[in-house]
Chains A and B, each alone.
Chain A
Amino acid sequence: MIEHLSAEQISQWIIGDRPLELRQHVAECAECRAELGQLESALAQFRTAMREPASSVPPPAWHHPEPRSAPWFSWPRLVLIATALLVLVAVPVTWKARNHEQALRAQAAQTALADSRLLESVDAEISQAVPQPMEPLVTLATWNSNSTEQNQKTQRQ
């Protein structure tokens, strides 16, 4: 026979764990019954007191939350914006560069043509033995030398 319920046994009783030995003791011991009764009463009053303020607050009307719109900042959106910006910047730059290249090529072609013409004229000039205005003299000189040679040959004979 236990003398009085320990603190642990009282807790055990309150949470509903009541073995035969405890039940026998509580049935026979007025002091422990009083102790348990007081605690049970306090807990019951506490429960009622806690339920009162809560019951005075009615539940609000429930509105199904709207699916939230996607936040402005998100990685896929950021990548998309960056790509668009890149395209916007890159296309005019590439287009300009390509035009510039074409212009340069055309200019180079023109220069090459002019150069080749100049070279041709220079070649033509270099290939001439005497300047064009003096060409009749060259013919005369050639004719003179030829007649002198013929005279010398006839004298030898």
Chain B
Amino acid sequence: MEQSSLVEWMATAVTSSCELDDFESVVRLHWSRIFRFALASLRDRHAAETLTQDCFFRAYKARDRFRGEASVSTWLMQIAVNQVRDHLRDRRLQFWKRARQTAVDVTAAAGWIADAGATPETAALLKEQVQAVWDATGSLSERQRTVFLLRFVEDLDVLEIAAATGLKEGTVKIHLFRALQAVRKRIRKTK
């Protein structure tokens, strides 16, 4: 490692470690992002809230082991990704619990967005498109959906997604390609 990059890495590590000292601020800063990812992945508000709380609780317990190799944001997202995976695996076994009372209705939000100054036709089209993407992500595999959400909802780049999921860069791209193809197919059907 070159001296300058070593210094940069050490500075990042120290900054990140200091950031964790004030954990209340960490929660305030990153809560929405983790909750949003959990909500989009699980599609259940109650489950997403529980998972987000658990994610921060785990992070708090493991904060001494955080070495600053990634940013706090990426580290928290790693924990959330693992928790979503575990949750979905558990739920697969408990198939009788699939009826969700607190399921998210994304079309309500889509309708609200489309109402902002759009013609009724455009609003309807936008709502349909959002619904199509939502339906398409529901049909993706757990890994494809995670990668897709991290890219197109959380705006992470391929390297950041690789760090958060533990996948290789090439594998992330393959999952993204497949997810996008599925989304495109679903959008075409709305035409």
B130's partner among A46, A54, A65 (CB-CB below 8 A) is: A46
If A14-B180, A47-B152, A59-B31 touch, whether A54 touches B39 (CB-CB below 8 Å) is yes
* CB within 8 Å of A: which B132-191 residues: 132-134, 149, 151-153, 155, 157-158, 173, 176-177, 180-181, 183-184, 187
B14 at the A/B interface (Cβ < 8 Å)?
Answer: no
If A46-B153, A57-B35, A65-B57 touch, whether A41 touches B129 (CB-CB below 8 Å) is yes
- Whether the Cβ atoms of A46 and B187 lie closer than 8 Å is no
Nearest B residue to A63, CB-CB: B24
Question: What 1/0 flags go to A124-155 for Cβ under 8 Å of B?
Answer: 00000000000000000000000000000000
Question: What 1/0 flags go to B6-41 for Cβ under 8 Å of A?
Answer: 000000000000000001100110011001100110
Whole-angstrom distance between the alpha carbons of A60 and B23 in the complex? Answer: 13
> In the assembled complex, which residues on chain B have CB atoms less than 8 Å from the CB atom of A83?
none
- Whether the Cβ atoms of A64 and B23 lie closer than 8 Å is yes
Question: What 1/0 flags go to A17-59 for Cβ under 8 Å of B?
Answer: 0000000000000000000001101110111111111110111
Stretch at the interface among B67-75, B76-84, B92-100, B103-111: B103-111
A52's partner among B109, B152, B157 (CB-CB below 8 A) is: B109
Whole-angstrom distance between the alpha carbons of A15 and B155 in the complex? Answer: 10
- Whether the Cβ atoms of A62 and B27 lie closer than 8 Å is yes
Interface size classification for chain A: 20 to 34
A3 at the A/B interface (Cβ < 8 Å)?
Answer: no
Nearest B residue to A57, CB-CB: B35
How near does chain A come to B178, taking the closest CB pair, in angstroms?
8
Whole-angstrom distance between the alpha carbons of A46 and B153 in the complex? Answer: 8
Whole-angstrom distance between the alpha carbons of A53 and B153 in the complex? Answer: 13
- Whether the Cβ atoms of A59 and B28 lie closer than 8 Å is yes
- Whether the Cβ atoms of A7 and B184 lie closer than 8 Å is yes
- Whether the Cβ atoms of A15 and B184 lie closer than 8 Å is no
If A14-B180, A49-B106, A51-B153 touch, whether A43 touches B133 (CB-CB below 8 Å) is yes
Name the residue in A41, A42, A47 with the highest tally of chain B Cβ atoms < 10 Å from its Cβ. Answer: A42
B49's partner among A46, A50, A57 (CB-CB below 8 A) is: A57
Question: What 1/0 flags go to B38-68 for Cβ under 8 Å of A?
Answer: 0110000100010001001100110000000
If A15-B151, A46-B134 touch, whether A54 touches B110 (CB-CB below 8 Å) is no
- Whether the Cβ atoms of A64 and B158 lie closer than 8 Å is no
Whole-angstrom distance between the alpha carbons of A62 and B20 in the complex? Answer: 13
> In the assembled complex, which residues on chain B have CB atoms less than 8 Å from the CB atom of A45?
110, 113-114, 126, 129-130, 133
Jot down 7 A-B pairs with beta carbons below 8 A, ordered by A: A41-B126, A45-B126, A50-B109, A54-B39, A60-B31, A62-B24, A62-B27
